[in-house]
A and B are shown apart, each in its own frame.
Chain A
Amino acid sequence: MTSPANDLDRLVGREYKEGFVTEIDAETLPPGLNEDVVRAISEKKREPAFMLEWRLQAYRHWLTMREPRWAQVQYSPIDYQAISYYSAPKQTPGPKSLEEVDPKLLETYEKLGIPLEEQKALAGVAVDAVFDSVSVKTTFRNTLAEAGVIFCSISEALQEHPELVRRYLGSVVPQGDNFYAALNSAVFSDGSFVYIPKGVRCPMELSTYFRINAMNTGQFERTLIIADEGSYVSYLEGCTAPMRDENQLHAAVVELIALENAQIKYSTVQNWYPGDELGRGGIYNFVTKRGACRGHRSKISWTQVETGSAITWKYPSVLLEGDGSVGEFYSVALTNNRQQADTGTKMIHIGKNTASTIISKGISAGHGQNTYRGLVKVLSGSDNARNYSQCDSLLLGDRCGAHTFPYVEVKNPTARVEHEATTSKISDDQLFYCRQRGLSEEDAVSMIVNGFCKEVFRELPMEFAVEAQKLLDVSLEGAVG
């Protein structure tokens, strides 16, 4: 293999025509995808050889795959050759303090209300901020290091802990798992890596803010979280994106691994640009999130509040491998205007005495289309598996839609699987009642919607729950009246 260092410099050195929304010098590969681009990314990040090989396998597999068409979403075809697969804010290597970080970048975070600085210490949250494709700054590394917790970008992890990455990467979501996961495996630029050692309860909530900023640069984040035996971690992921006119592809992969008696709680508040009222612009969010309860009595809990994106295609899942393991999925998905969401979960019961809970709340407004798609699968060896699923839909107005596709496959007669589903509307009576008590119509809708989502919100960490409620209010603006 010829190392295309010269090609890379040439590619990267080319002028980026559109410029950036935030005017930061960036290194961006020109649009297009081929093996050289995959090599360039790996080279750029000085990855170990096994990683390049892994990426190339993924790329070759991806070439044989087709974009899935079964989801209840509609969009014009994506030209994968028109996307740039790498964009990094240019900076002197390794900023040691905030002073060394590009002030424009910090300003953008300010605007988003992300307190990257010392306020976070008070809130007790460590942030690994991903701006476009490269981690800019990681806070609270020391506090975490004292506890033995590794929390860094996946690029760093590849340098400093290659054996851990090699052992677990792709062990839950294999390279060829699905079209978008294969694409991500080939070209992922960065993401977060977390390792919690045996018996350690992570001393703070871990959080990452993602932001898509570079025009035409698909984001291919890769997150890997490993909770070793008897450990606990709560991870928060929050996203916002600025206005833009072109659709943007986002294909992230998140893998969680919980070993014996370990617990992982993963919470997401997602608010990417949903497009305007007519459906122009907005993010395509095709994400593969999956956790493996690998050890006995381990537990993985997904909580998500999805209000953004033009299209959401996302099924955070749990493989219940260990005996007595527990999987949970709590979801609020809101679609307004022309937004489309096809989201849900997969609970795969493999070990004995495994239990899963699914609580899904879909809210549709405007012309929004909201689909719940969930699979509960009980394999033959999984004795005494239990599942409870509840899917509720709330409709605002009469031009939106709610759809529910529950799939159940049970191969063991001792399984107990329950499914409940409801669809309701905010009634004129409810609105009048609230307004007669002095609430404005908007406050009334907000209160009723928040009531509908209560079972999910109470699973979120406190500060996230507040943020989530505000997000729903903002997302529903103009949906009523």
Chain B
Amino acid sequence: MLKIENLHVDVDGTPILKGIDLEVRAGEVHAIMGPNGSGKSTLANVLTGRDGYEVTQGKISYRDRDLFALSTEERAREGIFLAFQYPVEIPGVSNLYLLKAALNSKRKHLGLGELSAVEFLKLIKEKVKLVQMKEEFLHRSVNQGFSGGEKKRNEILQLAVLEPLLAILDETDSGLDIDALKIVAHGVNSLRDAERAIIVVTHYQRLLDYIVPDYVHVLANGRVVKSGDKELALELEKHGYTQLVQSSGEGAARSAGA
């Protein structure tokens, strides 16, 4: 589904990603872990086409197409979804309105008709239950005055409604208490099937107890320094990133000197 080859990315002229290779197949869940500043969020932003990231080398194919040929909104309509680390507030625009606009723009792109108001409301009511939100949330302005946990749950509600093929969760667990974490994980897991892939970007192993990954990759200094299965996450929890980061730093220094 997603194939990243030798990806190099600069931000303001500073190299952040320095040669990432990653392949994600349909049905898989990949966790990307790593310390602060390792490039995890940069990877999420490049995949979704945010401005300010300059790809200097490498390529990404998504469902056998050149990802960079697609605009941000085209990627979204083709099934790439990012659950934001910091969901954005939009005053005066109701959650319901955004959800409907988003779903219909996707349906239109896929050649499906727009949902009628009745069909849409029926769908939404189902999804709201999934993330255990009150229906009144739908009528509040997007993320305005929401607590941190509510914002994250709202991201998962959008995820559930849009049913993406490739979901990227960017630090969705940060700031969540254990109950909210379970709700979020439940929402994500209910989407898991053979058609879809999920990339979980996180600092901590905790979320991975609930969303169990098939693969774990450790990112440090802009490179994948280690890949493994879910056991790798547990190992990291025990020993920390320090050792891995140091060895990758030496590697970088060596290659720079060569």
Q: Mark A420-438, 1 if CB is under 8 A from B, else 0.
A: 0000000111101111111
Nearest neighbor of B80 in chain A, beta-carbon distance = A436
Tell me which residues from 350 to 380 in chain A have a Cβ below 8 Å from any Cβ of chain B: none
| Residues in A neighbouring B223, C-beta threshold 8 A | none
The reply on B115 being an interface residue by CB < 8 A is no
| Residues in B neighbouring A453, C-beta threshold 8 A | 92
Contact (A432, B105) CB under 8 Å given A447-B97, A448-B93, A450-B92: no
The reply on A452 being an interface residue by CB < 8 A is yes
* A439 & B141 in contact (Cβ 8 Å cutoff): no
* B82 & A447 in contact (Cβ 8 Å cutoff): no
Tell me, in angstroms, the Cα distance from A293 to B236 when the chains sit together: 74
Tell me, in angstroms, the Cα distance from A469 to B72 when the chains sit together: 25
| Residues in A neighbouring B109, C-beta threshold 8 A | 438
Partner of A437, one of B51, B89, B92, B162: B162
Contact (A430, B76) CB under 8 Å given A438-B105, A447-B101: no
Tell me which residues from 49 to 94 in chain B have a Cβ below 8 Å from any Cβ of chain A: 50-51, 71-73, 76-77, 81-82, 84, 86-93
How many A-B pairs have beta carbons closer than 8 Å: the answer is 71
The reply on A143 being an interface residue by CB < 8 A is no
Q: Mark A8-28, 1 if CB is under 8 A from B, else 0.
A: 000000000000000000000
| Residues in B neighbouring A447, C-beta threshold 8 A | 90, 93, 97-98, 101
The reply on B102 being an interface residue by CB < 8 A is yes
| Residues in B neighbouring A430, C-beta threshold 8 A | 88-90
Nearest neighbor of A455 in chain B, beta-carbon distance = B92
Tell me which residues from 7 to 42 in chain B have a Cβ below 8 Å from any Cβ of chain A: none
Contact (A452, B92) CB under 8 Å given A435-B72, A437-B162: yes
* B93 & A450 in contact (Cβ 8 Å cutoff): yes
Tell me, in angstroms, the Cα distance from A73 to B90 when the chains sit together: 32
* B92 & A440 in contact (Cβ 8 Å cutoff): no
* B72 & A451 in contact (Cβ 8 Å cutoff): no
* A439 & B84 in contact (Cβ 8 Å cutoff): no
* B93 & A438 in contact (Cβ 8 Å cutoff): no
The reply on B158 being an interface residue by CB < 8 A is yes
| Residues in A neighbouring B71, C-beta threshold 8 A | 435
Nearest neighbor of B45 in chain A, beta-carbon distance = A432
* A451 & B90 in contact (Cβ 8 Å cutoff): yes
* B51 & A434 in contact (Cβ 8 Å cutoff): no
* B87 & A439 in contact (Cβ 8 Å cutoff): no
The reply on B203 being an interface residue by CB < 8 A is no
- How many residues of B are in contact with the other chain, CB < 8 A? 29
* A438 & B92 in contact (Cβ 8 Å cutoff): no
* B87 & A443 in contact (Cβ 8 Å cutoff): no
Tell me, in angstroms, the Cα distance from A429 to B48 when the chains sit together: 13
The reply on A454 being an interface residue by CB < 8 A is yes
* A451 & B76 in contact (Cβ 8 Å cutoff): no
| Residues in B neighbouring A448, C-beta threshold 8 A | 90, 93
| Residues in A neighbouring B88, C-beta threshold 8 A | 427, 429-430, 432-433
Tell me, in angstroms, the Cα distance from A437 to B86 when the chains sit together: 15
* A439 & B92 in contact (Cβ 8 Å cutoff): no
* A434 & B92 in contact (Cβ 8 Å cutoff): no
* B102 & A439 in contact (Cβ 8 Å cutoff): yes
Tell me, in angstroms, the Cα distance from A438 to B106 when the chains sit together: 6
* A437 & B93 in contact (Cβ 8 Å cutoff): no
Tell me, in angstroms, the Cα distance from A438 to B114 when the chains sit together: 14
B167 to chain A minimum Cβ distance, whole angstroms, is 12
A284 to chain B minimum Cβ distance, whole angstroms, is 32
Nearest neighbor of A457 in chain B, beta-carbon distance = B92
A332 to chain B minimum Cβ distance, whole angstroms, is 12
Tell me, in angstroms, the Cα distance from A447 to B73 when the chains sit together: 15
Nearest neighbor of B158 in chain A, beta-carbon distance = A437
Nearest neighbor of B79 in chain A, beta-carbon distance = A438
Contact (A438, B84) CB under 8 Å given A432-B50, A448-B90: no
| Residues in A neighbouring B50, C-beta threshold 8 A | 432
| Residues in A neighbouring B158, C-beta threshold 8 A | 437
Tell me, in angstroms, the Cα distance from A428 to B50 when the chains sit together: 10
Contact (A454, B98) CB under 8 Å given A432-B72, A436-B48, A438-B73: no
Contact (A435, B51) CB under 8 Å given A443-B105, A451-B90: no
Contact (A435, B90) CB under 8 Å given A428-B51, A443-B101, A451-B141: no
Nearest neighbor of B87 in chain A, beta-carbon distance = A433
| Residues in B neighbouring A436, C-beta threshold 8 A | 48, 72-73, 76, 81-82, 84
Tell me, in angstroms, the Cα distance from A452 to B90 when the chains sit together: 9
Tell me, in angstroms, the Cα distance from A427 to B51 when the chains sit together: 13
| Residues in A neighbouring B76, C-beta threshold 8 A | 435-438
* A439 & B105 in contact (Cβ 8 Å cutoff): yes
Q: Mark A100-115, 1 if CB is under 8 A from B, else 0.
A: 0000000000000000
Tell me, in angstroms, the Cα distance from A440 to B75 when the chains sit together: 11
Nearest neighbor of B78 in chain A, beta-carbon distance = A438
Tell me which residues from 202 to 242 in chain B have a Cβ below 8 Å from any Cβ of chain A: none
Q: Provide 22 A-B residue pairs closer than 8 Å at the C-beta atoms, listed in order of the A residue.
A: A427-B88, A429-B88, A430-B89, A432-B72, A433-B88, A435-B72, A437-B98, A437-B101, A437-B105, A438-B102, A439-B73, A439-B101, A440-B73, A443-B101, A447-B101, A448-B90, A448-B93, A451-B90, A451-B141, A453-B92, A454-B92, A455-B92
Q: Chain B interface (Cβ within 8 Å of chain A)? A: 48, 50-51, 71-73, 76-77, 81-82, 84, 86-93, 97-98, 101-102, 105-106, 109, 141, 158, 162
Closest 3 CB pairs of A and B: A451-B92, A451-B93, A437-B102
